Amino acid sequence: MDNELIKACEAKAQQWLSSSVYDAATQAEVRQMLEDADKTELIEGFYKNLEFGTGGLRGIMGVGTNRMNIYTVGAATQGLSNYLNKNFKDMELISVVVGHDCRNNSRLFAEVSANIFAANGIKVYLFDDMRPTPEMSFAIRHLGCQSGIILTASHNPKEYNGYKAYWDDGAQVLAPHDKGIIDEVNLVSAEDIKGLNTTLDVANPLIQLIGEEIDKIYLEKIKTISIDPEVIRRQKDMKIVYTPIHGTGMMLIPRSLKMWGFENVHTVPEQMIKDGNFPTVVSPNPENAEALTMAINLAKEIDADIVMASDPDADRVGMACKNSAGEWVLVNGNQTCMLFLYYIIKNRIATGKMNGNEFIVKTIVTTELIKAIADKNKVEMFDCYTGFKWIAREIRLNEGIKQYIGGGEESYGFLAQDFVRDKDAVSACSLLAEICAWAKDQGKTLFDVLMDIYLEYGFSLNHTINVVKPGKSGADEIKAMMENFRVNAPKEIAGSPVVLTKDYLTLKAVDDKGNVTDILQPETSNVLQWYTADGSKVSVRPSGTEPKIKFYLEIAGEMACPKCYTAVNNEAMAKVDAIKTSLGL
């Protein structure tokens, strides 16, 4: 082990013992870490401070500067309070929204944060119980607040919690505010945290509980995004199975589906129980097939038309439908995004709702078929970085000039409206049900619609590989992998020459002739992309929120008929294996 690193961690840990701010139980754990001959826990707890990534602050709950606890949450909130008081110093009263999900300690962290904001003279609108992340985003704009936070680790395993910070536009913070907040947080010592108390100060006039009154307004707004209410009326008895996987979606998604007119919604009873331990799943991630097992079993029992699931903070949506053989299959994140945008564009045209100034947004690692759909239908499309704060940025830049009609990413996030500025499973589940109703109205399934897209716009298989590298040693490995890919860039992938390389760290694109062009993005990002002669696209990036490096593979193809799908898909999967071999994965 690195002795210098151990010494640095010991010094940080000693600070936690020498201050009266830290409670006795915390200090006892720190002593145990220091006394333990194995310094792994000490290093993992103290080797760095938690930082805002693509999803804010996120980490394993426990003791240390690199862990989620009342002190790291408190420092983040004090730093954010300091930044708000500097940025909005001329305002009579700065206000924030505080929300949380179902996770262990989420309510505690939310109440601790509310106390700290109030102690800094900031008005707090605190949700009275767990609520979806998108509703918190909505509330910021609706209540005219300057910021907001939600305590959630999204779809991460139960050991994790997180802290997402939002700005006055309802979107997660971007530069310069993200860096500005971090700078303020880094100046905060435990002694600087005002109002650090684990009991909510309900008597404080600056803390106001909110709930049902916001729910009603938010759900009414979501209802306005329905494109074809008539098709819902005709298919109101369509069988829907929904699971919140123990999370916040249970608060609003069944209610929203009912408001839209769907009368045959079945929930998974075992997963309609609020529980931060997520006892019925290995991980509460709707991207994982295992998380939808109970919902699919219920769908088989009742012969449902669609299965939908939301993650613990109800920003991501997962889904399953029956294929042409009647078997239940998962719809991946790229297909989900593509289905939503295909339906929105096609049916806005069909119902005469297009004005010619509409635009959509996707992230750079999301399927290129979306661009094909946009181009053919003469709808402008913007590419942005991974993370919904970048989609929100495009909405903000075009506000009052162009009309946003939808945007999404491969990681199961979609947003169909601009009154929220983060991915939204509440509206996505409602719109998904409408898409299924529209398909059923034509005697089709969601799978049939997917086949229609492939026939019209070309086939594409998207496959994501996550290489998990936990801890300090893992972070070093990931850094070395990215450096190696830059120094030893592949000349061919799976036998096909690389014809274009994009490096978002330099914001330069180089083709196979050596021509260099600029990449237009607002800042640099540690992402590499390679495009091959046969139409494949490979993207690689370290995750901003989890200890892993992600590889996004897209293999293009042509599909002559719906029955050709299996063969074309199998051929593309064989190419996936070849690409993995080329990249040494």
CA distance 487 to 22: 46
CA distance 205 to 225: 36
The alpha-carbon radius of gyration of the chain (Å, integer) is 24
Phi, psi (deg, nearest 5) at residue 65: -70, -20
Instruction: Using the structure block, give the residue that is written with the tokens 């106001």.
Output: 208
Token reading at 565: 């799908």
b (16+ CB within 10 A) / e for 249-262: bbbbbbebbeebbb
If we measure between CA atoms, which residue out of 134, 176, 177, 172 comes closest to residue 392?
172
Inter-residue contact 58 to 109 (CB < 8 Å): no
Looking at residue 286, its amino acid is: P
In the residue annotation, 430 being an active-site residue is answered as no
**Distant-in-sequence, close-in-space partners of 30: CB < 8 Å, separation ≥ 6:** 13, 16, 17, 22, 63, 64
What does the DSSP assignment read for 525-560?
-S-EEEEETTS-EEEEEE-SSSSEEEEEEEEEE--S
Catalytic residue, candidates 81, 113, 154, 411: 154
If we measure between CA atoms, which residue out of 22, 287, 283, 306 comes closest to residue 158?
283
Positive/negative CA dihedral, 448, 453, 455, 460:
negative
Q: Are strands 123-127 and 207-210 parallel, antiparallel or unpaired?
A: parallel
Catalytic residue positions, numbered: 154
